[in-house]
Copies of this chain bind each other. A is one copy, B any other.
C-alpha cells in the first residue's frame, strides 16, 4: 500500500458527479445487502434493494434503514407508510443478479418480483410477502418515519414481528451464522462482496486480554 493521501472536501466537491459518488459511497464501509418487500394499495408487490440498515436495539427489537429521497426511491416508502408492514430479506450469491436488477426504476404497477424472477412467499396472517429465495428474513411493522431535512432522505424505524431462518443456522447461544447463509455485503454504488468468518471474541473487559471463542457452538 502506498502512502496515504489527504483529500479535502473542497477538492472532493469539485469532482465529476459519478466519480465523487463512487468515492464517497465507499467510505461507510461494507454494508448489509437486503431486499425490502412491500405491497401497494392495489395489491401490487414491490422489491427494493437496500444496504443502509442498522440495528437499533434488541428490547424492543428495532431495526432502521435509510430510504433515499422520495423522487429517487418512491415505492418502498409509500407502501410502508400506507400499509405499515414490510419484510427484510438477506441476499446470497445465487440471487444477486436478480437482486441487483431490483434497483432498476420500474414504473408504478410493475412488481420487481415478476420482472426479475424472484419469488413471493406468503405466510398466513402477514400482509406482505417474503422473498422465497432468501435464507435469513424477517417481517417488520413500521414504528416511525424520521425525515432528514438535510438532504431529503428518511430514517425508517420498525419493530421485528417474526423471523424466518433455518434452525440449523442458530447456535446454542442464539448466534445466527449468516456467513453460512452467505449473506452478502455491498460497497460503493454497484459492488458486492462475500463474507467469510474471521473470529469471535469474548465480551471485552478493561483488565482482561482479548480471548477468542468458537464461531459456532
A: residues with CB less than 8 A from B are: 1-9, 12-13, 15, 17-34, 52-64, 66, 88, 90, 93, 96-97, 100-107, 110, 115, 123, 135-136, 138, 143-144, 146, 148, 150-151, 153, 155, 157, 159-171, 173-176, 178-179, 181, 183-185, 187-206, 208, 210, 213, 215
CA distance A26 to B63 in the complex (A): 11
Which DSSP category, helix, strand, loop or mixed, fits chain A's interface?
Answer: mixed
Closest chain B residue, CB of each to CB of A176: B26
Residue contact A178 to B58, C-beta cutoff 8 Å: no
CA distance A32 to B55 in the complex (A): 12
Residue contact B30 to A161, C-beta cutoff 8 Å: no
Residue contact A178 to B30, C-beta cutoff 8 Å: yes
CA distance A150 to B59 in the complex (A): 10
Closest chain B residue, CB of each to CB of A201: B100
**Out of B97, B173, B189, which one reaches A18, CB within 8 Å?**
B173
**Out of B12, B190, B195, B215, which one reaches A194, CB within 8 Å?**
B195
Listed by A's residue number, 22 A-B pairs whose Cβ atoms lie within 8 Å are A4-B165, A6-B123, A12-B61, A23-B174, A25-B55, A26-B175, A27-B138, A56-B151, A59-B151, A60-B151, A62-B151, A100-B204, A101-B210, A104-B208, A105-B205, A150-B157, A190-B213, A191-B215, A192-B198, A192-B200, A194-B195, A195-B195
**Out of B31, B189, B198, which one reaches A193, CB within 8 Å?**
B198
**Residues in B neighbouring A123, C-beta threshold 8 A:** 6
**Residues in B neighbouring A175, C-beta threshold 8 A:** 22-23, 26, 188, 191
Given A192-B200, A195-B195: A144 touches B150 (CB 8 Å cut-off): yes
Given A23-B175, A178-B30, A193-B179: A150 touches B1 (CB 8 Å cut-off): no
Closest chain B residue, CB of each to CB of A53: B28
CA distance A169 to B54 in the complex (A): 27
CA distance A160 to B107 in the complex (A): 34
